Structure 1
C-alpha cells in the first residue's frame, strides 16, 4: 500500500561532498550536530571539514537543521496567557496547551535519530561517523543506541551525562558548572589583573565583594539584566571575551557600592539601576552599539505586562526536545525546593533569574526514556573541558567512562564549551585521527 501522509516534514540538509561513497578511497561520511537544539546546523559541515583537512580527500561532511529549526519545518503551538497567573501560570498554560499537540510530540531525540539514519540512507552511505556537541552528545547516544550497526565511530564534544532517563539532571548540573566557572576562572582572571581592574589580588574576596555589592533585590535584578542583555554570558562558553565579563563585574561592584554608600533609598527600578551600570562600561571593552542594543532590550522587557489575557505562540525547539525526551519530576513543589537549594550554591544563576520558577517540563508528561546503550555501542571519543560551564566536568566524565566502548579526552584547566577545533596538537590530532580508526 502506498503511504498517503497528510502532513510531512521538510528537513534541510547541507553536504560538503568530496568523494563518491562507492570510490575505493572512500572512508566515511561525517554526520554533524552542533548542539542546542537551537542554532541552525547547516554551516557546520563546511566548518568541521575545514578543521579536519587530513580527512577531506576521503570523507564527506553532512549536517542538517533539526526539525523545528532554521530552514526545516518549524513547530509551534498556541496557548492562553493570563497576566494574573504570573510566570509559573504561564508555564503551566504552555505545557497544558502544547504537550499533546501531535507536531510538538514529534520533536524528540528519538525522532531526530531516525531522521539522521534516513539522511544516511538517502546519501547512499553504508555507515556514518557522528560528531555531536553539547545536546548533540545526548542526541548521539540515542542515535548510537538505536542504530549501532550503521555508525562507524562517534565524537562527543562537551558531553551531557547521558546515563539518565531524561534531561532533568541537566539543569542542576549546568547551574553548578556555570557558577563554578564564574567563581574559579573569572575571579582568578580578575585577580591576576589587579592593575587593570583594581579589585585586589584575592579571587575569593572579589567574589564575596561582587555579591555583597549586588545583594539588594532591586540591584541584583539590575545586574542580571546587564548580564543577559549585553550578551556577556557567551563568555562562559567560549572564554575568549573574558574581558567583557570582567568589565561587568568591575562596574556592577562600582555601581552597587556607590548606591550602598549613598543616602538615596532604593527606587524599585531595576531598569534604571541597569542603565547606570551600562553608563559605566568602557566602550573600548563593550562597544557602544552593544550597549545601545542592551538598553533597547531592557526597555522592551520593562514594558508593562498586558492587562488582559491574550493568545500567544510558543515555538521553542529546545523546550520541546528537553521535555519530550523523558519524564521530569512533575509539579511545582519539588522544583521550588530544588531551586532554593540550588540558589545556595549558585548565586549567579539565581541573579540571572533562572531559579525564579520551576522549569516548563515540570508540567509536561512524557513516556519516552533514553534507551540503554547496547554492548555494541559505537566506539566513541568524549572531549571535555575541566571547567566547562554548560556541560560540567562531572557530566562529561560520567559519559566518557560509563558508556560502552568510550574513551575520555580531558582538557585540564579549560572552560571552553565546544572544544573542537581547539588549536593544539594534543586535542585536535586525536580527534582528527579517530574517524580514521587510529
Structure 2
C-alpha cells in the first residue's frame, strides 16, 4: 500500500497533493481551506432533520433532544482528500445546536470524545447540556468521524485460527482490514480535513474545539494543519502531542493502569474495609488478588480488562472494587473455554451483587460494567466458535486503522516480545493482558505534523495525575514542549476526561480560556473525593505549586512492592510445581 505524504501542513498550495514537510519549519506560508479543495461538494445543501442517538441511554438521549436548535444531517466528503476528484465519496453524520446568544456568539465548537472510533454525534448536545456557560457563546457540533457510527463505517473480516498464537492472529486481523479499500483513508489526517470541511459547509470562518483522549490528538493535528482556522482548543486528557505517532502514548498506557490500580483503587478498598471485607492493607488485598490467579486466569483477565475502563471515571470504583472482592473470594479454577468462563462470570456477578452501591452514578457505572463483561465473554465465545468452524468474524477496524496508520510503529517481533516481558516484570497487573499490538503488522500511511512554532494557536491541556488511559506524563510533556500551551493538573485524581469537573480551580480556568481567551499559568488543582468518601486522599507524587507541576513516577514504591510480591509468589508456585 503506497504511503501518503507525511502530513498536510500549510504550504504554498491549497491542494494536499502539493505538501512540503508538514510544517516542521515553523513558518505559515499560506492558508489551507478544505472548502476550496472539495470543489462542487461545498455547494451541497444539508438536509437537516431530528437526531437519534441509539448508542446512549434513552434517558440521556431524551435529555439531549431538549437542547435548543438540535438538528442532524449527513455531509458528503471526498473519500481521499489527497485526490478529491477521483469520484469516491463517503458521508459524515453531524449534529448541531443553536444555543449561542446571537450578540455574543463565538461560532461553532466541534467536540470529539476520543477512541479512536468513539461516536461523537451525541456530543454536540451533550456539551451544551454539560456546560451551559460555554453553550451561551458556542454552538456545538458533534460528529461521527469517518469509519464511525452513523458515518460511513469501516468493517473488517478475518478467519480466526484455533490455537494460533497472538502474533499470527494479529497479522491475520490486519490482513483482513487491509483488504477493505476504505482502510487507507481512515486516518486522523483525513479526518482533520473533514473537520475543516464541516466548518466551510456551515459557513464559519474558524472553529473552536473540545477534545477528550484521542480527541486531543485529532484536535492538535487540526491546529497544525489549519492554524488560521483554529480558535479556542481545549485538549482534555491528552495523548503525547509532541510525537509523530501514537506508539509512545500506548506504551505509557498499560503502565499507568498498573499505577492507578495499585496506588488508588486498592487503597480505596482498604479505606472502605467494612464494605469490601478484605482488610485495611492495600498490599494484603493485592496478595489476595494474585493468589486467586490475578490476571493470569481467563476470568481474572476478563475482570481486569473491564476494571480498567471503570477506572476511567472514578465513579466506577465501587462497582470495580466489588468485582475485585468477588474474584478474590471466588478462587475459581482456570476455565477450560469461553463457555465455562461465561458460567464463572455469572457466579462472580451474583456474588458481587452483595455489595451495596448507594450512589446513583456509581450504580449506573456498575451496571454498564456488567453489560461490558457479558459482551466481552460473548465475543470470546463467538471467536472460539468461528475458529472451530473455520468461519470468519467481522469487526470494526476504525480504532486500529487510525492508531496504526497515524505514524509508523515498530514492526520487530523481538521488540514486542521484549516489551511484553518488561510489562510482565514491572507491571504484573496489566502485563498478562498484553500482547504485540496490531500496529506491529500495519504499515503507516501518514504521520502527525509538528506544530508551527510561530503560528500555533494558544492551547489549554487538562490532565489528571493518575489517568489510566492518557497518562499524566503525556500531558505534562505536551505542555513543556509544545508552543503556546498551558497545563491544568488535577492531583490525586484518576478520572479520564475532566471538564466540567465541578471545582472552580478547573472549571473557572477552562471557561476563562474558552470564553475570553485568557491563558492560565500552569496550575495544580485538588481532586474531588472518591465515591462515598468526604475528602480526597494524597496518593502518588508530590505537588509543586510554584512550578505548577506534579512530581510522579511510573513505578511508584507501591508498584515496585507489588512487583516483588508477584515475583515471589510465582517463584513459590514454580517450586511447588
Closer, same or farther in 2 for the Cα pair 1:305/1:333, shift >3 Å?
Answer: farther
Matched, 1:307 2:388: yes
Unaligned runs of 5+ in 2: 1-38, 41-83, 358-362, 519-577
Closer, same or farther in 2 for the Cα pair 1:267/1:238, shift >3 Å?
Answer: closer
* Counterpart selection for 2:314 from 239, 243, 252: 239
Deviation at 1:174, TM superposition (A): 0.8
Matched, 1:365 2:440: no
Q: Residue 190 of structure 1 aligns to a residue in which SS?
A: helix
Matched, 1:403 2:474: no
Closer, same or farther in 2 for the Cα pair 1:44/1:367, shift >3 Å?
Answer: closer
Deviation at 1:273, TM superposition (A): 4.6
CA distance in 1 between counterparts of 2:203 and 2:295 reads 61
Closer, same or farther in 2 for the Cα pair 1:190/1:131, shift >3 Å?
Answer: same
Closer, same or farther in 2 for the Cα pair 1:35/1:232, shift >3 Å?
Answer: same
Deviation at 1:211, TM superposition (A): 1.4
User: What do residues 242-279 of structure 1 show as CA deviations (whole Å, max 9, x unaligned)?
Assistant: 111111121222222xx6xxxxx867566255454334
Q: Residue 54 of structure 1 aligns to a residue in which SS?
A: helix
- TM-score, normalised to structure 2, is 0.68
* Counterpart selection for 2:428 from 315, 324, 347: 347
Larger mean CA deviation between 270-279 and 37-46 belongs to 270-279
Give runs of aligned pairs for residues 366-381 of structure 1, distance below 5 A: 366-375=444-453, 376-381=455-460
In structure 1, what is the equivalent of residue 351 of structure 2?
280
Closer, same or farther in 2 for the Cα pair 1:365/1:199, shift >3 Å?
Answer: same
Closer, same or farther in 2 for the Cα pair 1:266/1:83, shift >3 Å?
Answer: closer
Larger mean CA deviation between 339-348 and 136-145 belongs to 339-348
CA distance in 1 between counterparts of 2:135 and 2:369 reads 38
- TM-score, normalised to structure 1, is 0.88
CA distance in 1 between counterparts of 2:492 and 2:118 reads 27
Q: Is residue 386–residue 392 contact of structure 2 (8 Å, CA) maintained in 1?
A: no
Q: Is residue 97–residue 141 contact of structure 2 (8 Å, CA) maintained in 1?
A: yes
Matched, 1:111 2:195: no
Closer, same or farther in 2 for the Cα pair 1:168/1:59, shift >3 Å?
Answer: same
In structure 2, what is the equivalent of residue 224 of structure 1?
301
Unaligned runs of 5+ in 1: 260-264
Deviation at 1:216, TM superposition (A): 9.0
Q: 4+ residue runs of structure 1 moved beyond 6 angstroms?
A: 286-290
Closer, same or farther in 2 for the Cα pair 1:186/1:45, shift >3 Å?
Answer: same
Give runs of aligned pairs for residues 9-408 of structure 1, distance below 5 A: 9-18=90-99, 25-83=104-162, 85-99=164-178, 101-214=180-293, 217=296, 220-228=297-305, 231-256=306-331, 268=336, 271=341, 273-283=344-354, 284-285=356-357, 294=373, 298=377, 301-302=380-381, 303-351=384-432, 353=433, 355=434, 357-375=435-453, 376-408=455-487
Deviation at 1:300, TM superposition (A): 6.0
Q: Residue 185 of structure 1 aligns to a residue in which SS?
A: helix
CA distance in 2 between counterparts of 1:291 and 1:154 reads 35
Q: Is residue 159–residue 393 contact of structure 2 (8 Å, CA) maintained in 1?
A: yes
Deviation at 1:157, TM superposition (A): 0.3
Deviation at 1:366, TM superposition (A): 1.4
In structure 2, what is the equivalent of residue 262 of structure 1?
none
Q: Is residue 236–residue 462 contact of structure 2 (8 Å, CA) maintained in 1?
A: yes
Q: Is residue 18–residue 57 contact of structure 1 (8 Å, CA) maintained in 2?
A: yes
User: What do residues 215-262 of structure 1 show as CA deviations (whole Å, max 9, x unaligned)?
Assistant: 594xx222222344xx54432111112111111121222222xx6xxx
Closer, same or farther in 2 for the Cα pair 1:312/1:242, shift >3 Å?
Answer: closer
Q: Is residue 45–residue 61 contact of structure 1 (8 Å, CA) maintained in 2?
A: yes
Closer, same or farther in 2 for the Cα pair 1:370/1:246, shift >3 Å?
Answer: same
Deviation at 1:424, TM superposition (A): 1.3
